[in-house]
Structure 1
Amino acid sequence: MSTSTPWLLYGANGYTGELIAREAVARGMRPVLAGRSKQKIAKLAAELNCPSAVFDLDDHTALCSTLSQVAAVLHCAGPFSHTAPSMMQACLATHVHYLDITGEIDVFELAASVHGKAQRSGIVLCPGVGFDVVPTDCVAARLREALPDATHLALGFDSRAGLSKGTAKTAIESASKGSCVRIDGRLVTEKLASRTRRIDFGAGEKLGVSIPWGDVSTAYYSTGIPNIEVYTATSQKSANSMRRANLFRPLLRQGWFRELAKFSAQRRITPPNKTERENNPTHVWGEARNAAGEVKTARLRTANGYSLTVHASLGILGEVLSRACNPGFTTPSLLVGADFVSSLPGSSTIRIDP
C-alpha cells in the first residue's frame, strides 16, 4: 500500500483506535483521524501530525463529505450495532471501502444483507478485521480444507489480556441479546452460558463456555458449515455468573439499564497496558466434525487480541488499498486467505490434528 493513500480511521480516540493510529504513523501512513470528541481527536492528530475530522455519525452530510476525500474507512467506534449502519450506508453512497474491528453478529449479518449493493458500489465490505474474528476465521477456513464434508464446527479462544472500556460496552450490548449458535444454517438465540465443555485451547484443558461470538456468522460464510458454536476459556465461577446474568436480560433490554451498566463498567475497568498486552498471548482452537464422526482439531497461538487487531486491521487495509479485490461483503479468510493470521507478529502456524 502506498503510504500516501488517503483513508479514514474513525474512533481514533478510543483505546484500540489510538493503538492503530500510532502503529499506522510508525509505518509511514497519515490516516485522517476522526471521531466525535473534538478535544481528544485534535490532541492526537497534533501529536501524530495527521489530518483530522470531527463529526457525529448521525451527521450524514459531514460523514459523506469526509468520506469523499478517502479511499477506505477503518471503523473503530463501537458498539458497532449502533454505529456501523450509518458508516456502512455512507460508504455505499460514496464508493468507499468499509472495514471495521467488530465481533458483533448483527453487523456481519447487516453487511451480508447489502452484498449486492456493495457490488454495485464497487466496494469491499469486510467487518471483523481484528481479533474479532481474524484468528478464528482463519482456523475455520483451515479446518474446512482439512475436512471438506464437515457438518459441525466449534471454535474457541483462551485470552487473558483484559478488556478495554469499549469492549466492555460491547459485551454488555451483546449480553442483552443472549448467546447465539448456528444450527442447520440458521442463527439460534440461547441463554448465556447454556453450553459448556472441556477444551485444550493450547495451554492445557480448561472449561469452555459458549458465547455470541462473530464466527457464528462469519465462519458460515467462510466455510458453508451449517452448525457452528464458539467458546471462550473461563472458570466455573464466571460461568455461573453468566448463567445468573440471564435473570437480568429483560432489564438489559431497557436502554436506561444498559447505559447504567456501561457507566459502571467504564468506571471499574482499566484497559491493559503495553506490558500486560505483551505478556498475555492468545490460544485459539477449532474442531470440525463430519456426519461419519471424523474429527479434525486445529490450534493457533497469537499475540494478545489488541495487538493482533492493530496488525491485522492495518494488514487487511493494505491489501484492500493495494490490489484489486472483488467488491461486496466478504470475511477476513476469504479476502486475505487462511495463512494471513500466521504472518502477523506473535502468531504461529495453524496446526491441524490428527
Structure 2
Amino acid sequence: MAHRHRRETAVSRAAGAILVAGPFAVVAALAAVLLAVSSPLTAPARDAASPARSVAPAPPSSPRADALSRSASRLALRGRRSLEQLHAAYHRRVTREATREATREATREAIRGAHAHLWTTAALNLWTGPGGGARDVGVVDRGERVLVTGRRTGDRAEVVVDGEARWVTAAYLSRERPAPTPALTPTPTPTPTAAPTPAPTPTPTPTPTPTAAGQPATGLSTAPCPDSAVESGLTPSAVLVHRAVCHAFPQIHAYLGYDPHGEHASGKAIDIMTSDVALGTSIAHFLQAHAAELDLYDIIWRQHIWTPVRASEGWRLMPDRGSPTANHDDHVHVCTN
C-alpha cells in the first residue's frame, strides 16, 4: 500500500508539473523558432587545415536562397508579434482583475464604515451599481429606514440592504420619516331609489349653462386657465378637465397634455403634476366625484387606478412599474372618454 501511495503521489506531482510547465513550454518553443529563423543561412564550415588561398569564392546567392531568407524573416516577424500579443493580453487580464478586486475592496470598506440611516420617501428600485449597465435586483418600499454608505455617483446613492451594497435614486432619501400615505377610498355609490312615475310629457333636461364667472350649474369652472398652453392638442372634454382642475386647485402650476405616447397620444389625457400626497389625493377624489360630468375614463394616482365602469371595486392596485413617475407617485393621471 505504501508503494502504491508513493507512485500515485509521483504521478500527481508529474501531472501538476506538466500543467505548470505547459505555458513555459509554448513560450520556449516560440523562442526557439525565433532563434532558428533569425540566424542567417550559411555555407558549411571550411576545413581549418586547408589554406585560405585554396578556398574558392562563394557562389552568388540563388533566387531560391533569397526566397528562403525572406520567408524566414517573415516567420521571425510573425513570431515576435505573437509573443507581443500574448504579453499584451496577459497584461490586460491582470489589470482588469486588479481593478475588479480594488472595486470590491472599496465596496467592502464602505459597508464596514456605514453607520448613517435615511428614510425612503418613495418605493425605490435597487441597482447593483450606479452606472447604466447595472441590474435591477429588487425594490425597497416607501417609509423604510436604510443604511447609507455616504458614496454617491451621479443621481444615485449607495445603501446597504441585507448586507449587500445596492444603489438607489438619491433624491428619494430623507432624514425625516415620510408621513403615512392617505388611503384612497372610493366615493360611496348612492343607494338606488325607486324611479318616479314618468310624467305624461317628459321635459328634456337642459344642458348646464356657464354663468358670467364661468361656473356651470355643476360647480365646475369652464373659464380659461391662466396658462392655456397645455390645452394645445387636447380634445374638448380634456380641455374641460384641465379648466375644472386649474380653478379648483390654483396651487397646481404644472400639467402635461398631449404627448405621442400612451393615452396622451389621443389628446384625451392630462397629467396633473404634484408629489404632495395629500394634495394629489384631494385632486383624485375631486375628479372621482365629478367623473360623470367630466365624462372620465380613468384616474391613476400612486399606483392605484379607478374607473367609472368598475367603480364598485374602488381603487385597484396596479403592478409596480419601477419608478415614481411610472407608478404615478408624482402626478395624477386622468383620461376622458
Category of TM-score, reference length = shorter chain: under 0.3
Bigger relative contact order (CA 8 A; separation at least 6): 1
TM-score relative to the length of structure 2? 0.20
TM-score relative to the length of structure 1? 0.19
Larger radius of gyration, structure 1 or 2? 2
Structure with greater strand percent: 1
